[in-house]
Amino acid sequence: MFNLKELRKSFLTSLWFMFLTFPIMVIKVNTITDTVEWRWRNLAFVGVSAFILSFVWRWALDRRAKGGKAKKDGIGFKATVLAKTNQYKLPGLIGIGLLVAILPFFASMYTTSVLTTALMYVILGLGLNVVVGLGGLLHLGYAAFYAVGAYTYALLHYHFGISFWVALPLGALFSAVLGLLIGFPVLRLRGDYLAIVTLAFGEITRLVLENWNDFSFGPSGIANIARPGIAGIKMKLPQATIFIYFIAIAMVILTIFLVNRLENSRVGRAWEAMREDEIASQAMGIDLTKTKLLAFSIGAVWAGFVGVLFAAKTTFINPASFTVWESIVVLCVVVIGGMGSIPGVVVGALVFTLLPELLRSVSEYRMLVFGITLVIMMIFRPGGLIQKTRKSYKFKKEGDGE
Amino acid sequence: MAPILEVDNLSMVFGGLRAVDSLSMKINEGEIVALIGPNGAGKTTFFNCVTGVYVPTEGDVYIQAPGATERRSIKGLKPHKITEGGLARTFQNIRLFSNMSVLENVMIGHHHRLNSEVFGAVFRDKKTREEEEKVVHDSYEILKKIGLENHVNDLAKNLPYGAQRRLEIARAIGTDPFLLLLDEPAAGMNPQETKDLVDLILRIRDNEKISVLLIEHDMSLVMNLSERIYVVDYGKLIATGTPQEIKTNKEVIKAYLGEEVDA
Amino acid sequence: MKLDFFFQLLMSGLTRGSIYALIALGYTMVYGIVKLINFAHGEIYMIGAFTALIVSGVLSMYGMNPVFIFLIAITAAIIYSAAYGVTLEKIAYAPLRKAPRLSALISAIGMSMFLQNYVLLAQTSDFLPFPELLPEFGFLDPVKFIISTNQFLILVTTTVVMVLLTFFIKFSRTGKAMRATSQDRDMAQLVGININKVISITFVIGSALAAIGGVLISSHIGQINFYIGFIAGIKAFVAAVLGGIGSIPGAVLGSFVLGITESFGTGYISSDYEDAFAFVILIVILIFKPSGLLGRKVSEKV
Ligand SMILES: Nc1ncnc2c1ncn2[C@@H]1O[C@H](COP(=O)(O)OP(=O)(O)OP(=O)(O)O)[C@@H](O)[C@H]1O
Ligand SMILES: [Mg+2]
C-alpha cells in the first residue's frame, strides 16, 4: 500500500488539488478596499488532506472492486443479521417509544421544535421514498407538493378561518391532485428527463407563488397562521409546541404503518417491478400509467400533510421555503438513508436534520458535507445507510413432515 | 379448431429498415412452433410487435383464447392488455426484476389477475389476505415445477445464468397465458441445461396446456422440440413447415449458408 | 422607439442565446458520450467566472493594462474550468459508469451542491462586482442603444467558438473519435478508441466553453455569486433538450430559441416570470417532441 508508486500517486494528486483550489481557496479579493488576502494556510490544508484522502480513495475503490465478487455468495450473511436484529426489535421499539413520549417534557422548547422538524423530514422522506425508492421515479419537484399543503392551510385559514384539522386532509387531497396533474404529462418520460421535468414543475410552482401576489401574497408570504388546537382551546406557545410534536409523532407512526403496508402489497410490488424494468413490468401485465400516477399521487399525499403541519408549526410561510434545494434535501434523506428502506429513511431524516444541529459550530458546512456524501454514497454504498432487507418467505417442503 | 394466434401480413419499419416484412403466422392450440432465422432477421422485432412493445406499421394480430368463440385483434393494445389477453413472453436479453426475490418475480406475473388496490393494501381485509396467500402459494407451485423452489428468497440477480432464464419462464407462466413466447430460451445454457429445458417446455405444453412459440438458434433443440417451423430472413418469411421439410428446404439452406459465408 | 425596443430585445435575446449555447454544448456533448446529465456543469461555469474575477482582481493591483488582464483572466478561467471538469468526471462519474443512471445523476447533484458550497465558503455568499475591463468599442457608437460592447463581444466570440468547434468535431481525429463514441460506445471501443481519453476531452471542451460563457456574461452583467451557475445551468440544459440532447447544432439552435423567447417574453409579457419561460418550454417540448428540435428519435431496443 505505501510503496513508492502509491506515494508518488498521492503526491501528484495532492499537487493537482493544490493547483485546482489555488485561486478559490487561497486568494480572496476585496473589491471594495482593493486589497488581496492570501490564505496560504488553506493551500497547506488542501495539500495534506488531498495527499491522505487520495490513499483512502484508492483503497476504498480497490475494496469496492473486490467486494463486488464477494457479495454474490454472501447471501447467508444477511439472513443471520436479520435474525439477530429481530430479537432486539421489540424491546428496542418500546424503549424508543418511551423516550419519544417523555422527551418533550424534559427538553427545551427549542429542542422539541427541532425534533418536530426532524419528524417532518421523516414523513417527507417516507413519502418521497414511495416515488423514488419504490417507484424508481426520480422526482426533483417534491417541494411543490409540500408547498401545496402549506398554502392550502394558510390560504383557507386566512380567507375562511378553516381549522388545522380540516386543512390536513384538504392539503393532502390538493397535493395528490397536483401529483396526478404533474404525473400525466410526464408519463412517457424516463430517468433523467423525468428528473428535470419534475424540477421544472417544482420551480414553476414556486415562481407562481412568488409572483401571483393576489393569490399567494408573493414573496412576503402569509403570517399569523393558527397553530392546531383541540375543540377550540387556545394553547400557549410551549403547550402548542409539544402538541405539534405529538401530532408529528402520530403522523410518523401512521406513515410508517401505511408505507409498510403499501410496500408489502400488490401495489407496492408493482411499483418495485416498474422501478426494476418498465418494459418487463408491462409485459408481465402491469398497467404502467396507473402504477406511475398512483406513485406520484400517493407520494404527494404525505408532502401535503407535512405542508399543512409546517404552516401550522411556523405560523408563517413564504415561497422561499419551497425551493429546488428543499426537494433535493428530501431526496438526500431518502438516498442516504437507503432507498426503499423504511428504517433507512427514518434514520436518514434524523441524521440529516439532527446532525447539523448537534454540530452547530460547523453547520455552515452542512450542504458541503451532504453534497460530497451523496457522491460517496452512490459510489460506495448505493443502498444507503440501512439497506432494504426483503421480506422472506418460508415453505414446507415435501418430506419435511408436518 | 380456430388458431389461437393469427398474425396477418405484419410489417415493422424502423426509419428505412423493414425489420419485419409482411409476415403471417398461425398457431393452433397445443402446438410448439419455432421461429428461426439468421441474426438480425427480425425475430425479436416480431415478438415485440405481437406483444405490444412496438405498434406494428402494417398488418394485424388476432388472438382467440381456447374455448373463446371469436377472435379479436390485439394490434395497438398496450403490452399489459395483451398479457391479460393470454400471451406471455420472455426476453432475449434477460429482463428480470433483479433486486426482487425469485418468488416476487413470479408474484408480479400474477399481478393482473389480482384485485387488491390501495384500500386492500392498507386495511388488509380478508379478501386481500386470502388473495395474497393464494399468490404466494401459486407462485411457489410454479417455482417447484420450474425447479427453482430452493431459491425462493434469493434476489433474481444472484441466480446463475441458466436459472435466470428459467425464472423468466416461471414469471411468464405466472401470468396464466395460453401461449408462451420464448425468445432464445437456451441461449447461454450448457448442454445439460438445454436438455432440461427441452423437458421443461414439453411439460409446460402437456401439463399446463400452454402452447409455445419459440425463437432459437440451437438447431438440434428446434428440430427436436417443434412441430412446425417458420423461417425468416431480412424480415420476410422464406419457408414454413415441419422440421423435416425445413431441413431440406433450399431457401433455408441458402439463407443460413449465405450468412455463414458472410460471417 | 417601438422598433428600438424590439431590436434591443432581439439583441439581448441573441446574447442570452449565445451564453446558453456555450453552456449547453457542454451538456449535450457530455450527454452524447456518457449519457449523463452533468448536473454540476453550471457550477463549472460559475467557477470559471470566479477564477476570472479573482485573477483580474489580483492583476489590477499591479496596474496592468485592462485588456491584458481580461485576456489573462479568461485564459485562467478556461484552464481552471477544464481542470475542474476533468476532476469532477474522475471523482464523481467515472466510478459510476456501470451503475444505474439514477446513481450517476444523484452523484452529479451531490457534486453540484458541493461545488456551490465550496465557493460559498471559500469566497463569499455576497454578490461580487465583476470588473469592467474592456473599453467601449468606438465603432459601435451609432448603434449603442441597441447593442453594447459586451453584447457585441459575446456574439462575435460565440460565433468564432462555434465555427472552431464544428471544424474540430468534423475534421480532427479526436472529433471523429468523439462522434463515433457517441454513436455506439461499445463499437468505438472495439475499433480501438480510447474511451477514457475521449470522455476526458469532452469534459475539457465542454468546461472550457462554459468558462468562456461565464466570463463573458459576468462582465456583461457586472456581478457574480456562487449561485449563478445553477440557474444558468438549468436553462442551458433546457436549451440542450429543446434542441435535442446529444445534437451539437441542436444545442445551439435550442439556445437561441430559448434566449429569444425569454427576452421577448420578459419584454412583452411579464418580467416577473422571466425564469418560468424556460421551464414551460421544457415541459411543452418534452411532452410533444421528446427528442427535441433536431434530435434523433430513438425507440428503445428490446
Ligand atoms: N428499436 C429499434 N430501432 C431501430 N432498429 C431496430 C430496433 N429494433 C430492432 N431493430 C433492427 O431490426 C433488425 C431486426 O432485429 P431483431 O432484433 O428483430 O433481430 P433478431 O432476428 O431477433 O436477431 P437475433 O437473432 O440477433 O436476436 C435489426 O437490423 C435491428 O438492428
Ligand atoms: Mg433477437
List pLDDT tens digits, range B52-95: 999 999 999 999 998 888 899 999 899 999 999 999 999 999 99
- Three-state helix/strand/coil letters over C9-29: HHHHHHHHHHHHHHHHHHHHH
| pLDDT (0 to 100) of residue C119 | 95
At residue A45 the predicted structure's pLDDT band, cuts being 50, 70 and 90, is very high
User: C14 alpha carbon to ligand 2 midpoint, in Å?
Assistant: 48
Residue with cell 390536513: A168
Which helix (H) or strand (E) segment holds residue B35: the answer is: strand B32-36
Q: What is the CATH architecture of C2-288?
A: Orthogonal Bundle (1.10)
Q: What does the pLDDT average to over B176-196?
A: 93
Q: Is residue A400 predicted with pLDDT exceeding 80?
A: no
Which of A192-201, A225-234, A285-294 is the least confident region?
A225-234
Tell which one of B10, B12, B13, B14 to mutate to probe ligand 1, the residue whose CB is within 8 A of the most ligand atoms: B14
At residue A23 the predicted structure's pLDDT band, cuts being 50, 70 and 90, is very high
**Distance between CA atoms of residues B50 and B53, nearest Å:** 8
| pLDDT (0 to 100) of residue A85 | 54
Atom 28 in ligand 1: which residue has the minimum CA distance? B40
At residue C295 the predicted structure's pLDDT band, cuts being 50, 70 and 90, is confident
**Distance between CA atoms of residues A35 and A31, nearest Å:** 7
Q: Cα A378 from chain centroid?
A: 15
Q: Percent of chain A, pLDDT > 70?
A: 92
Q: Is residue C90 predicted with pLDDT exceeding 90?
A: yes
List pLDDT tens digits, range C182-212: 888 888 888 888 999 999 999 999 999 999 9
**Distance between CA atoms of residues C201 and C174, nearest Å:** 8
- Domain spanning B5-99+176-262: which superfamily? P-loop containing nucleotide triphosphate hydrolases (3.40.50.300)
| C106, C119, C280 ranked by CB distance to A335: nearest | C106
Q: Is residue A215 predicted with pLDDT exceeding 90?
A: no
Q: Is residue A311 predicted with pLDDT exceeding 60?
A: yes
At residue A73 the predicted structure's pLDDT band, cuts being 50, 70 and 90, is very low
Q: Where do the structural domains in chain C lie, given as residue ranges?
A: 2-288
**Distance between CA atoms of residues C222 and C131, nearest Å:** 7
Would you call C83 an interface residue with chain A, using a CB distance cutoff of 8 Å? Answer: yes
Across all residues in chain C, what is the average pLDDT? Answer: 88
Considering only residues A393 and C114, tell me which one the structure prediction assigns the higher pLDDT: C114
At residue A70 the predicted structure's pLDDT band, cuts being 50, 70 and 90, is very low
| pLDDT (0 to 100) of residue A152 | 94
Q: Is residue C125 predicted with pLDDT exceeding 90?
A: no
Q: Is residue B259 predicted with pLDDT exceeding 60?
A: no
| pLDDT (0 to 100) of residue B257 | 66
Q: What does the pLDDT average to over A151-170?
A: 90
Residues 260-299 of C with CB under 8 A from B: 299
Q: What does the pLDDT average to over A341-351?
A: 90
Q: Percent of chain C, pLDDT > 70?
A: 99
Q: The whole model's pTM is what?
A: 0.88
CA angle A351, A354, A360 (to 5 degrees): 125
**Distance between CA atoms of residues A151 and A318, nearest Å:** 9
Sequence-distant (6+) residues with CB within 8 A of A59 are A1
Residue with cell 467566472: C49
Q: What does the pLDDT average to over C65-78?
A: 92
Sequence-distant (6+) residues with CB within 8 A of B128 are A265, B116, B120, B121
Contact (CB, 8 A) for C134 and C150 = yes
User: B181 alpha carbon to ligand 2 midpoint, in Å?
Assistant: 12
Q: What does the pLDDT average to over A51-57?
A: 92
Position in ligand 1 atom list of the atom nearest CA B48: 18
Question: Which residues of A fall within a CB distance of 8 Å from B79?
Answer: 279, 282-283
| pLDDT (0 to 100) of residue A305 | 94
| pLDDT (0 to 100) of residue B258 | 64
**Distance between CA atoms of residues A29 and A107, nearest Å:** 45
Is any atom of ligand 1 closer than 6 Å to the C-beta of B92?
Answer: yes
Is any atom of ligand 1 closer than 6 Å to the C-beta of C299?
Answer: yes
Across all residues in chain B, what is the average pLDDT? Answer: 91
Which helix (H) or strand (E) segment holds residue A11: the answer is: helix A4-21
Interface test with A, best of B77, B97, B169 (most A CBs within 10 A): B97
- Closest among A296, A252, A272, A257 to A390, alpha carbons compared: A272
**Distance between CA atoms of residues B247 and B241, nearest Å:** 10
Q: What does the pLDDT average to over A21-33?
A: 87
Looking at beta carbons, which pairs linking A15-19 to residues 24 or more positions away fall under 8 Å? Answer: A15/A47, A16/A50, A16/C87, A17/A46, A17/A47, A17/A50, A18/A43, A18/A46, A18/A47, A18/A50, A19/C83
Atom 31 in ligand 1: which residue has the minimum CA distance? B40
Position in ligand 1 atom list of the atom nearest CA C299: 1
- For residue B212, list its beta bridge partners: B32, B180
Contact (CB, 8 A) for C13 and C232 = no
User: A2 alpha carbon to ligand 2 midpoint, in Å?
Assistant: 50
Q: What does the pLDDT average to over A86-91?
A: 67
Which of A120-129, A325-334, B163-172 is the least confident region?
A325-334
Question: Which residues of A fall within a CB distance of 8 Å from B118?
Answer: 262, 267, 294, 298
Smallest-distance ligand from the CA of B40: 1
Is any atom of ligand 1 closer than 6 Å to the C-beta of B255?
Answer: no
ipTM score of complex: 0.91
List pLDDT tens digits, range A103-115: 878 778 888 888 9
| pLDDT (0 to 100) of residue A1 | 56
Smallest-distance ligand from the CA of B217: 1
User: A280 alpha carbon to ligand 2 midpoint, in Å?
Assistant: 16
Position in ligand 1 atom list of the atom nearest CA B41: 21
| pLDDT (0 to 100) of residue A189 | 78
Across all residues in chain A, what is the average pLDDT? Answer: 85
| pLDDT (0 to 100) of residue B16 | 84
Is any atom of ligand 1 closer than 6 Å to the C-beta of B19?
Answer: yes
Q: Does the beta-carbon distance from A378 to C96 stay under 8 Å?
A: yes
Q: Is residue A92 predicted with pLDDT exceeding 80?
A: no
Q: Where do the structural domains in chain A lie, given as residue ranges?
A: 4-63, 99-380
Atom 4 in ligand 1: which residue has the minimum CA distance? B14
Q: Indicate if the alpha-carbon torsion angle B106, B112, B117, B120 is positive or negative.
A: negative
| A217 CA: distance to closest CA in chain C (Å) | 14
Q: Does the beta-carbon distance from C95 to A374 stay under 8 Å?
A: no
Residues 60-79 of C with CB under 8 A from A: 61, 76
CA angle A116, A117, A123 (to 5 degrees): 90
B68 dihedral zone (left: phi>0; alpha: psi -120 to 50; beta): beta
| pLDDT (0 to 100) of residue A71 | 46
Q: What does the pLDDT average to over A190-211?
A: 86
Q: Does the beta-carbon distance from A266 to B117 stay under 8 Å?
A: yes
Q: Is residue B26 predicted with pLDDT exceeding 90?
A: yes
Would you call C222 an interface residue with chain A, using a CB distance cutoff of 8 Å? Answer: no
Smallest-distance ligand from the CA of B38: 1
Which of A348-362, B195-209, C2-16, C64-78 is the least confident region?
A348-362
At residue B214 the predicted structure's pLDDT band, cuts being 50, 70 and 90, is very high
| pLDDT (0 to 100) of residue A194 | 85
Is any atom of ligand 1 closer than 6 Å to the C-beta of C2?
Answer: no
| pLDDT (0 to 100) of residue C36 | 87
**Distance between CA atoms of residues B93 and A95, nearest Å:** 50
